[in-house]
Amino acid sequence: MKALTWQGKRDVRVEDVPDPRIEEPTDAVIRVTSTAICGSDLHLYEVLGPYLKPGDVLGHEPMGIVEEVGPGVTRLKPGDRVVVPFNIACGSCWMCDRQLYAQCETTQVTAQGKGAALFGYTSLYGSVPGGQAEYLRVPHAGFGPIKVPATGPDERWLYLSDILPTAWQAVKYADTPPGGTLAVFGLGPVGQFCARIGRHLGAGRVIGLDLVPERLAMARRHGIEVLDVSELDDVPSTLIDLVDGRGPDAVIDAVGMEAHGAPLGKLAQTAAGLLPDALARTMTDKIGVDRLVVLKAALKAVRRGGTVSVSGVYGGEVDPLPLMEMFDRGVQLRMGQCHVRRWVDEIMPLLADDADPLGVADLRTHRVPLARAPQAYEMFQKKEDGCVKVVLEP
């Protein structure tokens, strides 16, 4: 089959790889009909290369049609249309019983000290072949895949794989009081959904911050108040002044480790990337740093006693935080990989509604064949051609 493989920094290629097959009784194999490029895939394109090897298949936002199931899978059958969550969970361990699916104890990558295995996401998370491919083997298929109706375009359901529940969890963790103010840093795909979900769940005011014109315009189309951070000298002070001199009740960081405007963090990430992989992995694990400009701005902008919810991916180990200020201001901080299946039952009725209350039909800006995935990665990484979200078609 054809699949997108990692070959090196900023080097991904579509190659022939072996077809997946049933390896365990609880496996399924799906024919992928749509698979998206996630913002966190760009971390593999740039920062997390030391944890990949040439030929690794990328991608963790797939959906498709079930082709085959193992003898231990009874709730799926060939022909079912499914969305595959990015994290792999058994559904029955101690963590899964508590709906902490991203920490599944059956698939935890304990050798790396990490949580549940992920599709297409480095040796840190199990080196499981990903979904930017024509076919995908799905472990623990008795629990993970989400059955969706046979009708409607893929993009009505596709975002259940990651970014929609990730945004839903971020908003839930932010815990904005009814009628309160939510600020969302970063209006990429997750940030777009955070802003829309925030309004849907009762925030009286939602402010989105970014510097990419197309992202700001998209958020504005959905009734979000926007700020272009490139025009602001002091983002936290601006937000505090805008919201009663106190700041927003809740702030979401939907950016993560590769924020703009953090030259020292970028330098450290670049330096680590120039080292041999074994040494780079050791440095990242022990003394890794992130670009914290957005997280620090979020912590300084939120009102006293407010909550900062982090959905952007971070990977540092010695990142300095303004702990004295956080403690004095009583800031609550919540974060973590999304527990996808935890939120599906709440989200599904909104996707089934033809009125499209979350605007899922207005997110994807580019749909391209899998063969053009390398060009799509470059375009997405450089934010060219108005690119906000790319969906690949195998």
Do residue 345 and residue 313 come from a single domain? no
Residue 288: give its domain's CATH number: 3.40.50.720
Number of separate domains in the chain: 2
Rounded Cα gap, residues 268 and 257, in angstroms: 12
Q: Is the pLDDT of residue 268 over 50?
A: no
| pLDDT winner (highest mean) among 132-136, 271-275, 318-322 | 132-136
Whether 155 and 173 share a structural domain: no
The domain boundary residue, chosen from 335, 354, 383: 335
Distance from C-alpha of 139 to C-alpha of 161, rounded to nearest angstrom = 15
Q: What is the mean pLDDT of the chain?
A: 92
Same domain, 328 and 355: no
What's the length of the chain? Answer: 394
- 113 lies in the same domain as 99: yes
**Structure tokens given for 274:** 């120039």
Q: What is the pLDDT of residues 365-383, one digit of tens each?
A: 999 999 999 999 999 999 9
User: Within this chain, do residues 269 and 384 fall inside the same structural domain, yes or no?
Assistant: no
* Same domain (yes/no): 311, 367: no
Identify the domain boundary among 288, 316, 335: 335
Asked whether residue 247 falls in the same domain as residue 270, the answer is yes
pLDDT tops 80 at residue 136: yes
Q: Which residue has the tokens 């760009």?
A: 42
Domain identity same for 132 and 237? no
> In terms of residue numbers, what domain contains 310?
164-335
Q: SS3 of 50, please?
A: helix
Last residue of a domain, one of 320, 335, 350: 335
Distance of CA 184 to the CA centre of its chain: 15
Give the span between the Cα atoms of 18 and 12, in whole angstroms: 17
Closest CA relative to residue 63, chosen from 3, 197, 153? 153
The pLDDT score that the predictor gives to residue 262 is 45
The CATH number of residue 143's host domain is 3.90.180.10
- Cβ atoms 59, 4 nearer than 8 A: yes
Higher pLDDT, 259 or 138: 138
Percent of the chain with pLDDT over 90: 86
Q: Are 207 and 224 in contact (CB under 8 A)?
A: yes
Q: Does residue 316 share a domain with residue 194?
A: yes
pLDDT at 360: 98
- DSSP H helices in the chain: 41-46, 94-97, 154-157, 163-174, 189-200, 213-221, 235-242, 263-273, 277-287, 293-301, 323-329, 340-352, 373-382
Euclidean distance between the first and final Cα of the chain, in Å?
10
Residue 269: per-residue pLDDT: 44
Residue 285 scores a pLDDT above 60: no
Q: Judging by beta carbons within 10 Å of its beta carbon (0-12, 13-18, 19+), is residue 46 exposed, middle or buried?
A: middle
The reply to whether 258 and 362 lie within a common domain is no
Q: Nearest to residue 361, comparing CAs of 81, 147, 153, 63?
A: 153
Q: Read off the pLDDT band of 115 (50, 70, 90).
A: very high
Q: Are 311 and 252 in contact (CB under 8 A)?
A: yes
Q: Classify 272 as helix, strand or coil.
A: helix
Give the per-residue pLDDT at 187.
97
DSSP letters, 192-224, are: HHHHHHHHHTT-SEEEEEES-HHHHHHHHHTT-
243 — pLDDT class (breaks 50, 70, 90): very high
Residues 201 and 345 in one domain: no
According to DSSP, the β-strands at 181-185 and 81-83 are unpaired
**Together in a domain, 178 and 306:** yes
pTM, 2 dp: 0.92
**pLDDT higher than threshold 70 for residue 274:** no
